[in-house]
Amino acid sequence: MSRRSTFTFRLYVAGEAENSTQAVANLTALCRAHLPGRHEIEVVDVFRQPRRALADRIFMTPTLVKCAPAPARRIVGTLSQALTVMHALGLEITPA
Amino acid sequence: MPALIATLLEAERRLEELTAGEVDTVADGGGRTFLLRRAQEALRHREAAKQAAILNALPAHIALLDPQGLVVSANDAWRRFASTGAVEEQAAGAGVNYLHVCAPGHRSDSPAAHDVAEGIRAVLAGGTLFATEYVCASPTGAQRFLLTVTPLADDTPKGVIVMRRDITAERQTEDLLRASELRFRQMADSSRDVFFLQSLDSSQMLYVSPAYEKIWGRTCDSLYATPQSWADAIHPDDLQDTLTAFEAGRATGFDHEFRIVRPDGGIRWMHVRGFPVLDDAGRPYRITGVVSDVTQRKEASGDLRESEERFRATFEQAAAGMCHTTLDGRYVRVNQRFCDIVGYTRDELLARTFQDITHADDHALDVLANQRQLAGEVQTMAREKRYIHKDGSVVWVDLMVSMLREASGEPKYLIAVVQDITARRQLEQELLHAQRMEGVGQLAGGIAHDFNNLLTVIGGRSELALAKLQPADPLRRDLDLIKKTADRAAALTRQLLAFSRKQVIQRRVVDPNDAVDNSTNLLKRLIGEDIELVFLPAADLGRVRVDPGNFEQVIVNLAVNARDAMRAGGRLTIETSNVTLDAGYAGRHVGLTPGPYVMIAVSDNGAGMDAETQARIFEPFFTTKGPGKGTGLGLATVYGIVKHSEGHIRVYSEPGVGTVFKIYLPRTDAAPEAEPPGNTTAAEGTETVLLVEDEAEVRSLAREVLERLGYTLLEANSADDALLIAERHVGLIDLLLTDVVMPRMSGGALAEALASLRPETKILFMSGYTDDAIVRHGVLEKGVDLLEKPFSPRTLAAKVRAVLDRQ
B295-309, B362-376, B703-717: range with highest mean pLDDT:
B703-717
Question: B189 pLDDT exceeds 70?
Answer: yes
Please tell me the predicted confidence (pLDDT) of residue B397.
Answer: 92
CA dihedral B318, B319, B324, B330 (to 10 degrees): 140
Average pLDDT over residues B606-629: 77
- Residue pLDDT, tens place only, A17-34: 888 999 999 999 999 988
pLDDT score for A9:
94
Interchain contact, B46 vs A16, CB within 8 Å: yes
Highest mean pLDDT among B505-514, B564-573, B629-638: B564-573
* CB-based burial, A33-51: b 16+ in 10 Å, e otherwise: ebeeeebeeeebbbbeebe
Over 90: is that where the pLDDT of B716 sits? yes
Question: Residue B661: its pLDDT value, please?
Answer: 93
The answer to whether A40 contacts chain B (CB < 8 Å) is no
Q: Give the integer Cα–Cα distance in Å for B26 and B15.
A: 9
Residue B585 CB neighbours (<10 A): 13
Chain A contact set for B20 (CB, 8 A): 77
- Say if the Cβ atoms of A58 and B27 lie within 8 Å: yes
Does the N-terminal peptide bond of residue B139 adopt cis geometry, omega within 30 degrees of 0? no
- At residue B87 the predicted structure's pLDDT band, cuts being 50, 70 and 90, is very low
Q: Is B719 helix (H, G, I), strand (E, B) or coil?
A: helix
In this predicted structure, the answer to whether residue A43 has a pLDDT above a threshold of 90 is yes
| Average pLDDT for A49-70 | 88
Helices vs. strands in chain B: H and E counts, helices first: 25, 31
Task: Tell me what the mean pLDDT of segment B107-124 comes to.
Answer: 75
E strand or H helix at B598? strand B595-604
Hey, of B12, B24, B26, which one would you mutate to test binding to chain A, going by the most A CBs within 10 A of its CB?
Answer: B24
Spatial distance between the Cα atoms of B153 and B159, rounded to a whole number of angstroms: 9
Q: Which of A13, A61, A76 to mutate to test the interface with B (most CBs of B within 10 A)?
A: A61
The amino acid that residue B642 corresponds to is V
Q: What is the dihedral of CA B481, B484, B489, B495, to 10 degrees?
A: -160
pLDDT at B773 over 50: no
CB contact under 8 A, B33 and A61: yes
Of the candidates B24, B27, B29, which has its C-beta nearest A17's C-beta?
B24
Q: Given 3-state DSSP classes, what are the helix, strand and coil percentages for chain A, each rounded to the nearest 5?
A: 30, 25, 40
The nearest CA of chain B is from the CA of A18 a distance in Å of 6
Q: Which pLDDT band holds residue B504 (cuts at 50, 70, 90)?
A: low
Give the closest of B21, B24, B32 to A14, CB-based. B24
pLDDT surpassing 50 at residue B89: no
Model confidence at B90, in pLDDT bands (50, 70, 90)? very low
Question: What pLDDT is stored for residue B663 in this prediction?
Answer: 93
A51 in contact with chain B, both atoms CB, cutoff 8 A = yes
- Between these two residues, B675 and B257, which has the higher pLDDT value? B257
Distance CA B133, CA B151 (A): 19
Q: Do B33 and A77 touch (CB under 8 A)?
A: no
What ipTM goes with this model? 0.79
Minimal CA–CA distance to A89: which of A44, A18, A35, A25? A35
What is the structure's pLDDT at B574?
93
The C-alpha of A2 sits at a distance from chain B's nearest C-alpha, in angstroms, of 32
Q: How confident is the model at residue A71 (pLDDT cuts 50, 70, 90)?
A: confident
- 10 Å CB burial of residue B274 (0-12, 13-18, 19+) is buried
Q: Which of B12, B14, B18, B22 is the best substitution to test chain A (most A C-beta atoms within 10 A)?
A: B22
When pLDDT is cut at 50, 70 and 90, the band that residue B263 belongs to is confident
Q: Looking at A41-45, B97-101, B242-246, B581-585, which range is the least confident one?
A: B97-101
- pLDDT band, very low/low/confident/very high, at B290 (cuts 50, 70, 90): very high
List Cα–Cα distances, B346 to B299, B329, B338, B350, B358, in angstroms.
32, 15, 9, 6, 17
Residue B274 has pLDDT above 90, yes or no: yes
Minimum-distance CB partner of A50 among B21, B33, B43? B33
pLDDT tens readout for residues B56-85: 999 898 988 888 788 888 888 888 877 765
Q: CA–CA separation, B663 vs B577, rounded Å?
A: 10
- Mean pLDDT within B321-337: 88
Of the partner residues A54, A76, A80, the one whose CB lies closest to the CB of residue B23: A76
List B residues 19-38 in contact with A (Cβ-Cβ < 8 A).
19-27, 29-33, 35
Q: B122 vs B344, which has greater pLDDT?
A: B344
**Residue in chain A lying closest to B18 (CA):** A77
Taking only residues 682 to 741 of chain B, the set having a beta carbon closer than 8 angstroms to any beta carbon of chain A reads none
Cα B80 from chain centre: 88
CB pairs under 8 A between A and B: 67
Q: What beta strand segments (E) does B120-159 contain?
A: 130-138, 141-151
B11 contacts on A by Cβ (under 8 Å): none
Write out the DSSP string of B285-323.
Answer: EEEEEEEEE-HHHHHHHHHHHHHHHHHHHHHHH-SSEEE
| DSSP H/E element including B765 | strand B762-767
pLDDT at B291: 93
Q: A80 to chain B: which residues are within 8 Å by CB?
A: 22
Instruction: Grade residue B102 by pLDDT with cuts at 50, 70 and 90.
Output: low
Q: Where are the beta strands (DSSP E) in B262-410?
A: 267-278, 284-293, 321-325, 331-334, 380-388, 394-405
Q: Closest CB to A14: pick one of B20, B29, B33.
A: B33
* Higher pLDDT, residue B453 or B86: B453
Please name the residue ranges forming H helices in B618-663: 634-644
Which of B20, B22, B27 shows the shortest C-beta gap to A54?
A: B27
Q: From the DSSP assignment, how many helices (H) and strands (E) are in chain A?
A: 3, 5
Q: Predicted confidence band at A42 (pLDDT cuts at 50, 70, 90)? A: very high
Is there a contact between B581 and B594 (Cβ–Cβ < 8 Å)?
yes
Tens of pLDDT, residue by residue over B543-587, are: 998 888 788 888 988 988 888 888 888 899 999 999 988 877 776
What is the chain B residue with the closest CA to A20? B24
Of the given ranges (A56-65, B318-327, B503-512), which has the lowest mean pLDDT? B503-512
Alpha-carbon span A30 to A82, nearest angstrom: 7
Residue of chain B with shortest Cα separation from A57:
B29
Using the Cβ of A14 and the Cβ atoms of chain B, whether some distance falls under 8 Å is answered with: yes
Q: Is the pLDDT of residue A44 over 90?
A: yes
Cβ atoms of B277 and B284 closer than 8 Å: yes
Range of lowest pLDDT (A80-84, B258-262, B344-348, B376-380)? B376-380
pLDDT on residue B678: 52
Is the confidence at residue B491, as pLDDT, over 60?
A: yes
Taking only the tens place, the pLDDT of each residue in B383-418 is 889 999 988 888 899 999 888 777 777 777 888 999
Classify residue B536 as exposed, middle or buried by CB count within 10 Å of its CB (0-12, 13-18, 19+). Answer: exposed
Cα distance between the two ends of chain A: 19
State the Cα–Cα distance between residues B216 and B234, nearest whole angstrom. 10
Nearest CA in chain B to A49: B31
Instruction: Spell out which residues of chain B touch residue A19, defining contact as CB-CB under 8 Å.
Output: 21-24, 39
Q: pLDDT value at position B277?
A: 92
Average of per-residue pLDDT values in chain B: 83
For B218-243, b where at least 16 C-beta lie within 10 A, e where not — what string? bebebbeeebeebeebbeeebeeebe
Chain B residues with CB inside 8 Å of A21's CB?
none
- Closest approach of B1 to chain A, Cα-based (Å): 24
What pLDDT was estimated at residue B105?
46
Give the minimum alpha-carbon distance from B2 to chain A in angstroms, rounded to a whole number.
Answer: 25
Instruction: List chain B residues with CB under 8 Å of A47.
Output: 33
What pLDDT shows up at residue B578?
A: 92
Residue type at B227 in one-letter notation: P
**Chain B partners within 8 Å of A18 (Cβ):** 24, 39, 42-43, 46
CA torsion through residues B207, B211, B216, B222, sign: positive
CB spacing of A18 vs B24 below 8 angstroms: yes
Which chain B residues contact residue A58 at CB under 8 A?
27
**Pairwise CA distance, residues B354 & B95, whole Å:** 103
CB-nearest to B25 from A51, A60, A80 is A60
Asked whether residue B93 carries a pLDDT value surpassing 60, the answer given is no
With an 8 Å Cβ cutoff, are A17 and B25 in contact?
A: yes
Q: What is the pLDDT of residue B467?
A: 84
Structure confidence at residue B288 (pLDDT): 92
pLDDT of residue B181: 92
CA dist B562 and B617 (Å) reads 13
**Other CB atoms closer than 10 Å to residue B373's CB: what's the count?**
19
A92 lies within 8 A of chain B by CB? no
- Give the gap in angstroms from C-alpha A4 to the nearest C-alpha of chain B: 32
Cα–Cα dist B473/B675, whole Å: 38
Is the CB of residue B162 less than 8 Å from the CB of residue B120?
yes
**CB contact A18 to B (< 8 Å):** yes
Confidence of residue A65 (pLDDT cuts 50, 70, 90): very high
The predicted model scores a pTM of: 0.38
- Whether B12 has its CB under 8 Å from any CB of chain A: the answer is no
Contact B22 A46 (CB under 8 A): no
